[in-house]
Structure 1
Amino acid sequence: MNKPVRAKKHLGQHFLKDEVIAEKIADTLTLKGYTNVLEIGPGMGVLTKYLVEKDIALVAVDLDSESISYLEENFLQENLQVLEADFLKSELSDFFGDEAFAITGNFPYNISTQIVFKTLEHKEQIPEFTGMFQKEVAQRICASEGNKTYGILSVLTQAFYDAEYLFTVPPTVFNPPPKVDSGVLRLVRKKDLSLPCDEKFFYRVVKTAFQQRRKTLRNSLKSFDLSDSLKEDTIFGQRPEQLSVSEFITLTQKLENDAISTHE
């Protein structure tokens, strides 16, 4: 074995050193509906070790050339391909062409939400997503309406995936230890990805509503030029965190219909 990789602060690296937890994260994948898996941020391969044992084609992608060299020297399994690349800047076709694949990993904290947003952009190709985040971020993704942490990330993710918070991981199992707990989640894509409203408009409504989360929707969505009759709808007396995902879809439909009728 060559010398260990040094964790780099600017890459948000905290290397997991607990084998039991690594195996537990590998087992969060259901392997239903795909045989390809992309691991983001493998570091020194503590999770990779358990993933390559599965009957999958695995691509491990890391920005850190030191990590890549370490993996190439220590992991020679035929079902593993190691790539030095930035997931956020990569074309997803570089990994598995147009085939379906799942994503997993011990995600660098500083880019974890961006990884989720990129997954949502390519949801047609990604039936499952599991992995480790800062606990607060994992909870936010999985939060339901009425919860303080419920927000843009919760609504947009849960519009297309069923989100489940699986378990908490303490800082002590990392090198170096982060200052906060971590949380592992699983996202399983819904059977029907089509929304009964315009998807881009839905994103805009959700983001605008939560930009002023303390205000009622009547005030936070003023920029949508609501008609007087629509303003009277009871849904506009609520705050964004009170609305479920399906109610946000209904809200988007109401705004779409209102825009059509006011311009007729």
Structure 2
Amino acid sequence: MTAIERDGAFADFLREEFAAAVADGLLDVVEGDALDVDLPEFTACVANLPYGVSGDRLPAAAGGAAARVDVPAEFAERMVASAGESEYGRLSVSAQHYADVEIAERVPKEAFDPQPAVESAVVRCTPRDPDYVVGDEAFFLRFVKALFTQRRKTVRNAVRNTAHISGLDDPEAVVDAADEELLGSRPGTLEPAAFAALAELARDRGSPTEA
């Protein structure tokens, strides 16, 4: 087991409290920021994350391993939201691109000392390959991000208005090639697979530039 702790005093406490496990090579305490340190190979991740760093990188952070993470309840609800729900957004698509995600349990404020300002939830992430093909993952995620900045617009206008974010050189070519029913939809109603198909069309017709 590898424990990563940013606070030096807590890292020292862990080394002292579990000195036998450290001596036997069963526990390695790494002092540092989990966002910066070189992570060893691992098969599972359990984390109580600083809420200020819960972001879009979280779904991929487990590196293909099963994960149970404690996050703000609102953040958790966005991770597991389905297309058409108000909480559904780019975090939902990116999380569900990497894994099956579910809220395992709710955690009240009283479970912490000091108490946070928000309710929490434990999210279980079970990695799996998506049931669609993405040729360029970085572009796919950038494209999803772009369209959700225009979530109240139609997909047609979202593609046109966000070329500076997605990196499309020719958004009109994408609009001309896309299905009319899809173009009349809103980004918040598209399943991840639909985003993937549209992103692949955009890559093929829109001549995206590298970010």
Q: Which residue of 1 aligns with 2:153?
A: 215
TM-score by length of 1: 0.68
Q: Which residue of 2 aligns with 1:165?
A: 103
Q: Does 1:116 align with 2:63?
A: no
Structure 1 residues 155-198: Cα deviation after superposition (integer angstroms, max 9, x where no partner)? 01211211111111110111011121101111111146983432
Q: Residues 61 and 87 of structure 1 are in contact (CA less than 8 Å); yes or no, is this contact kept in structure 2?
A: yes
Q: Which residue of 1 aligns with 2:38?
A: 91
What letter corresponds to residue 247 of structure 1 in structure 2?
A: A
Distance 1:159 1:134, change over 3 A: same
What letter corresponds to residue 59 of structure 1 in structure 2?
A: T
Identity score, percent? 31
Q: Which residue of 2 aligns with 1:75?
A: 18
Measured after TM superposition, the shift of residue 256 of structure 1 is: 2.3
Q: Which residue of 2 aligns with 1:64?
A: 7
Where do 1:23-34 residues align within 5 Å? none
Q: Residues 178 and 198 of structure 2 are in contact (CA less than 8 Å); yes or no, is this contact kept in structure 1?
A: no
Q: Residues 59 and 98 of structure 2 are in contact (CA less than 8 Å); yes or no, is this contact kept in structure 1?
A: no
Q: Does 1:107 align with 2:49?
A: yes
Q: Residues 160 and 193 of structure 1 are in contact (CA less than 8 Å); yes or no, is this contact kept in structure 2?
A: no
Deviation beyond 4 Å, 4+ runs, structure 1? 191-194
Distance 1:193 1:236, change over 3 A: closer
* Number of residue pairs matched by the alignment: 194
Q: CA RMSD in A?
A: 2.1
Structure 1 residues 5-57: Cα deviation after superposition (integer angstroms, max 9, x where no partner)? xxxxxxxxxxxxxxxxxxxxxxxxxxxxxxxxxxxxxxxxxxxxxxxxxxxxx
Q: Which residue of 2 aligns with 1:138?
A: 76
Q: Residues 4 and 34 of structure 2 are in contact (CA less than 8 Å); yes or no, is this contact kept in structure 1?
A: yes
Question: In structure 1, how many angstroms separate the alpha carbons of the residues matched to 2:144 and 2:56?
Answer: 17
Structure 1 residues 34-91: Cα deviation after superposition (integer angstroms, max 9, x where no partner)? xxxxxxxxxxxxxxxxxxxxxxxx1110110111111111123242111101111122
What letter corresponds to residue 236 of structure 1 in structure 2?
A: L
Structure 1 residues 193-226: Cα deviation after superposition (integer angstroms, max 9, x where no partner)? 9834321221121010011211111111112422
Question: In structure 2, how many angstroms separate the alpha carbons of the residues matched to 1:232 and 1:147?
Answer: 23
Q: Residues 197 and 252 of structure 1 are in contact (CA less than 8 Å); yes or no, is this contact kept in structure 2?
A: no
Q: Residues 197 and 249 of structure 1 are in contact (CA less than 8 Å); yes or no, is this contact kept in structure 2?
A: no
Measured after TM superposition, the shift of residue 115 of structure 1 is: 5.4
Distance 1:193 1:239, change over 3 A: closer
Q: Which residue of 2 aligns with 1:149?
A: 87
Q: Which residue of 1 aligns with 2:133?
A: 195
Structure 2 unaligned spans of 5+: none
TM-score by length of 2: 0.83
